[in-house]
Chains A and B, each alone.
Chain A
Amino acid sequence: MDGRDSHEALIDRLVADARPVRRRWSPRWRLVCWLGMLALVIGAVALRTAWPLRDPASRSPLVAIELVVLGSAAAALAILALRAAVPGREPGRPAVMVAAALAMSSGLWWLGIETPPAAASLASFVQQGVPCALLTATYALLPTAALLWALRRGAPLQPVRAGALGGAAGFLAGYLIMRIACTNDDPAHLATWHGLPVLLGIAACAGAGSWWLSHWRGVRDENALV
């Protein structure tokens, strides 16, 4: 079978295999849904922890600014992740760098926040920190899973990158929620027990993306309506 015949045979097969598909919502609308879900989680945590009434430090304008910057960075990373699942709309490196810089700039506000004394010993530092790390990962689970699921329903041409962006947005959201839930503003505590889970989460999601977000290449016609 020469090139032309095999080409025609392929087109015949694709046409025979094709059924109506459910178009994906645009990245913008999917972001709105994700932000809505995130707002509900943040609201629930804030109510449960009586934030900001319980802790005078959390009423500082600097904390509010930090939360706004974190929220903006999470939203920026989420829209970049959602765009990464649409061929031709993948974000360029400059956009990713700007979003990452915005996320990291949230740490600058720590310099102006009045911090409590550091932990007396390494043991107490670890004892206070491990539950925070676990909670950060727990709070990140829902936003991250929601994003990765949205990406899986798209067609990410670079699944590792898409997974990393989804993980960055989801885990940054977890970090944001923990800034509300946790009263410890010590920069060492935040960097280690809140920040490190974010980095590990990004790496894990990038790795997961390499196989979990590539499935669409081998799927016959999963997105057909019938």
Chain B
Amino acid sequence: MTEDVEKARERSRRRADLMRRAQDGDAEAYRLVLHDIGPVITRWLRRWVADPHDIDDLTQDALMTVHRARHTYDPSRPLEPWLFAIARNLAADHLRRRGMRLARESPVEAELATTDIGDGDAERRLEEVLALPARQREAFELLKLEGLSVDEAAGRAGTTVGALKVRAHRAYQAIKALLQN
């Protein structure tokens, strides 16, 4: 786990350095960082948007927004909060245009509609977990399902470590209450 954390931190530092060089006009660094962040954005967008065509479009919108806003990135800070703020904003706009709230969308719900887990009780409990407030669900997914460290999860969620811990604690308490019931 420690090695994974170190690798993730090293990846984050590398991205920040590539972006700094891109800001200074290094075309090759810019190409590398765009190639690197594209799949990261796509994976993040899959949490909120089910349609793969929409995900592709939003990923491209995010890359264009990164291009236009790159002058605002501070290289002394991690790239991820800056990047995910852009992705989050685009996803929210997309869902708002489609008349849906970000909190109610999840690609896993689309899978649940077509997949029979075979255990009605487990399926209902999973739906209850998915019904958690979006921020608590995100904290739970990042820490427990994706296995990220608290630092990484906070960066991905675009928040502070303390705030992420609070959200995770509330998610755990809610899930604990669900299981006990």
Contact = CB atoms under 8 A, between A and B. Distances in A.
Interface in A179-224: 216-217, 219, 221, 223
Interface stretch (A12-20, A49-57, A120-128): A12-20
Contacts of B85: 87-90, 157
A32 interface: no
B54 to A, nearest CB: 11
Nearest to A12: B31
B24 A20 contact: yes
Interface in A35-62: none
B173 interface: no
Interface residues of B, number: 35
Given A3-B56, A10-B60, A15-B30, A157 B86 contact: yes
Contacts of A23: 23, 71-75
Interface in A158-182: 158
A155 B34 contact: no
Size band of the interface chain A makes with B: 20 to 34
Contacts of B86: 87-88, 157
Contacts of B52: 3
A113 B77 CA distance: 47
Contacts of B75: 23
A182 B78 CA distance: 48
B126 interface: no
A220 to B, nearest CB: 8
Interface centre among B30, B70, B82, B83 (most CB of A within 10 A): B70
Contacts of A221: 67-68
Contact of B74 (A6, A86, A155, A158): A86
Interface string A1-33: 001001100110011011111111010000000
Contacts of A90: 85
B27 A18 contact: yes
A7 to B, nearest CB: 6
A70 interface: no
Contacts of B35: 11
B71 A24 contact: yes
Interface centre among A22, A157, A221 (most CB of B within 10 A): A157
Given A7-B56, A223-B71, A87 B23 contact: no
Contacts of A7: 38, 56, 59-60
Interface in B1-57: 22-25, 27, 30-31, 34-35, 38, 52, 56
Nearest to A218: B68
A71 interface: no
Closest 7 CB pairs of A and B: A155-B69, A20-B25, A88-B85, A88-B81, A88-B82, A223-B71, A21-B71
Given A18-B25, A87-B83, A219-B68, 5 more contacts: A6-B60, A7-B60, A24-B72, A86-B82, A88-B158
Interface of A: 3, 6-7, 10-11, 14-15, 17-24, 26, 85-90, 154-155, 157-158, 216-217, 219, 221, 223
21 contacts: A7-B56, A14-B30, A14-B34, A14-B64, A14-B67, A15-B27, A15-B31, A17-B67, A18-B25, A18-B67, A20-B25, A21-B23, A86-B74, A87-B83, A87-B89, A88-B84, A88-B158, A89-B85, A155-B65, A155-B69, A219-B68
